[in-house]
Chain A
Amino acid sequence: MNGHIPFGVADYFWDEASLRQSLLDALLETFRGWGYGDVIPPMFEFDSTLSAQYDDRLRSGMYRFLDRDGSTLSLRPEFTTPVARLVGARLHDWPMPQRFCYGGSVFRYLEPQAGRQREFWQVGGELIGAPSPAADAEVLAINAAALKAAGLTEFRQIVGHIRYYRGLLEALALNPEQAQQLHWALERKSEPLLAEFLRETPLRTGQRQAVETLPQLVGENVDAILSLAERHIQNRGMHEALRNLRQIVDALDGYDTLNSLVIDLTEIRNLGYYTGVTFEAVTPGLGTAVASGGRYDDLVGRFGPSQPAVGVALGVDRLLVAKQRQEGADAKNRTRRQRTVLALPRGSAAALVQVQRLRQAGVRIQVDVNDWSADRAFGYAGETDVVDVLLWEEEFMHYRRDEGGDFVLIGPLEADCLSPPQTTCAEIAGQSK
């Protein structure tokens, strides 16, 4: 036994663990506030269930293994597909729309980067059974609310629409190599590659102009970009994509999110199952997206009656990194986790009764189980971040660590002295010196 752990996973403990857990809770609480109910899908499923609609990049990044009966299983690389399966296969006759939220580990066999290991955490929500732009707007707005709940003040949501690009591809009727060339040029926002594509591909004037305009369909001026895009519509698909985007933007009116919107009709990286609006959230201090989502109207139907759906997932690990980088130096005096109190009952049942009472009042207390002396307890407390020690002498006597690291007697325990906030208690300690 050497105690190593596999590449791509991590232990989280102490402050890091509690920070992570409380971020997860805060994000989930945001979704619950919007009427999303908890769902806990399994950690692994049949590979065929999960991977059918993924793109190559995600599919090649899945952890696969064999069940004892020989069937191929995969660790979940995201939550949307399991939730779609649940609704499609089992909850399809329950009234729509259905709202679900989730949080937990997902697994991808990728190079670890920017706070993201091969096991990383997602929180997200899915709104199933509503095709309307208002549903898309809700998910964009809830994403913004969740990012704010995570403590990010500055972020952008980059919104695209997969049907605009698919419509254009249809109109251009490209062969696979040409389509690949255009895809590459857009994915890398490369002007030279786009110029090369235009040079080598024979196109009608209108189509050529539509492709030439693509790089300009990026920016904050939502209205101007949509108007420009409308001038280069080649078919019904492109038209509907833009109309849908406009309706979504209109439906966002009233939510406090419009100033964070950036339109990018050339953003075409995605998981493969999206059918409508797609979006990513970016924030200063992190080079990659902290959240992404979109509409996927064809996924639930793979498992049961077809249902329109839209959802978003936030990367907990990346949020933590972004938050840490944005807060920078002043992160140290931020709210620390609540410290536990150490109580020495010294064999007294009455002491334990008192401890239970304090716990019910919300104080976190660990009880000495080694029958320590006061000095031994102070020694342990001094090394482990414990500030308050209670010694039982008919009643609890309250000792507190001072700046010099020595434990000084404050006096008999006063009930509100331990429960957070502990400011009143600090004053008492000051007076008693």
Chain B
Amino acid sequence: MSAPGAGGEQSLLFALPKGRLAQDSLSFLEQAGLSTPTDTESRKLVLPAADGTVGFVMAKPRDVPTYVEHGAADLGICGLDVVRETDRAVYEPLLLPFGQCRLCLAGPAESAAGATEAEGDLAERSLGVSSSLHHPGTPLRYMSQPRIATEYPRLTRSFFAERGVNAEVITLNGSVELGPILGLSDLIVDVVQTGTTLRINGLVEIRTILESQAVLVVNRAAYQLKATEINRIIERMRSLTT
């Protein structure tokens, strides 16, 4: 592994998220006039930009804030949902105009039957918890000990704690919608873009916990040590976001 930041060289290392945000991140960087890696499918872990000015690591989205907090990367792009969930000490100067989604609390549709867009056949589920308290408008403080399946345990816990509810948080690594179907949990907290996944699994949104979009994160030391380069990048990005 080539040691980033070693020596006096002032080149920057950028951490980008694999998956959902990868393509948008790269095209945004190109729009901002930054040289991007030519071959992101490569198995090499650190990719140089076409003109060699900036290096890129493709990381799991959740690891981007970690890389940046430790200074293994100087800057990174990831979702605001991930920044808030991981709660790392990084600067986040700009929101970027892509990756919009919302972190939602959702529950089985039949409990909200009639009140919302319960589409007939979907509401026909017999097992599962049928507490009317899952109704979108009902104050959550009426729930005694809801079980919540989520990939966002920190945000879920604090969301319920703020409402005085002691939720039992079940941390999963994907396919959270299965929770209520299998009776693993009463509700879920998950990222929603269009709502299609929720609908086909018979779930409806109950509350929005966080409006998310892509965000630029910067290491605190690099922000001062490489101020010129980083400010130039922020400047270019800002002109695209406003």
Contacts and interface: CB of A to CB of B under 8 A. Distances in A.
| Mutual binders A and B | yes
Interface of A: 113-114, 154, 156, 158, 188-192, 219-220, 262, 264, 282-289, 325-326, 328
A60 B170 CA distance: 25
Interface string B85-123: 000011111110000000000000000000000000000
A195 B91 CA distance: 16
Contact of A287 (B7, B8, B221): B221
Contacts of A328: 3, 6-7
Given A156-B225, A191-B238, 16 more contacts: A114-B71, A188-B90, A188-B91, A189-B92, A190-B91, A191-B94, A264-B224, A284-B221, A284-B225, A287-B71, A287-B219, A287-B221, A288-B71, A288-B89, A289-B221, A325-B3
A281 to B, nearest CB: 9
A341 to B, nearest CB: 36
B214 to A, nearest CB: 12
B181 interface: no
Contacts of B225: 156, 282-284
Interface in B1-55: 3, 5-8
Interface string B108-143: 000000000000000000000000000000000000
B93 A189 contact: yes
**B contact residues, range:** 20 to 34
Given A190-B93, A192-B95, A288 B227 contact: no
B221 A282 contact: yes
A262 B220 CA distance: 13
Contacts of B222: 287
Given A113-B70, A191-B238, A288-B71, A282 B220 contact: yes
A189 B218 contact: yes
Contacts of A262: 224, 227
A190 to B, nearest CB: 5
A283 B221 contact: yes
7 contacts: A191-B94, A262-B227, A285-B5, A287-B222, A288-B70, A325-B6, A328-B6
A426 to B, nearest CB: 31
Nearest to B218: A189
A289 B70 CA distance: 11
A219 B89 CA distance: 20
Contacts of A192: 94-95
A288 B89 CA distance: 9
Interface in B47-96: 68-72, 89-95
A288 B238 contact: no
Nearest to B221: A282
A286 B224 contact: no
Main SS at interface, chain B:
mixed
Given A189-B92, A189-B218, A191-B93, A287 B6 contact: no
Interface string B199-242: 00000000000000000001111111101000000000010000
Contact of B71 (A264, A285, A326): A285
Given A114-B70, A189-B218, A326-B6, A282 B224 contact: yes
B224 A158 contact: yes
A289 B89 CA distance: 12
A188 B92 contact: yes
Contacts of B219: 287
B224 to A, nearest CB: 5
Contact of A156 (B7, B8, B224): B224
B224 A154 contact: no
B6 A285 contact: yes
A285 B10 CA distance: 11
Contacts of B238: 191
B10 to A, nearest CB: 9
A211 B69 CA distance: 26
Contacts of B227: 219-220, 262
A325 B9 CA distance: 13
B173 to A, nearest CB: 20
Nearest to B7: A328
A36 B184 CA distance: 62
B223 A189 contact: yes
B99 to A, nearest CB: 14
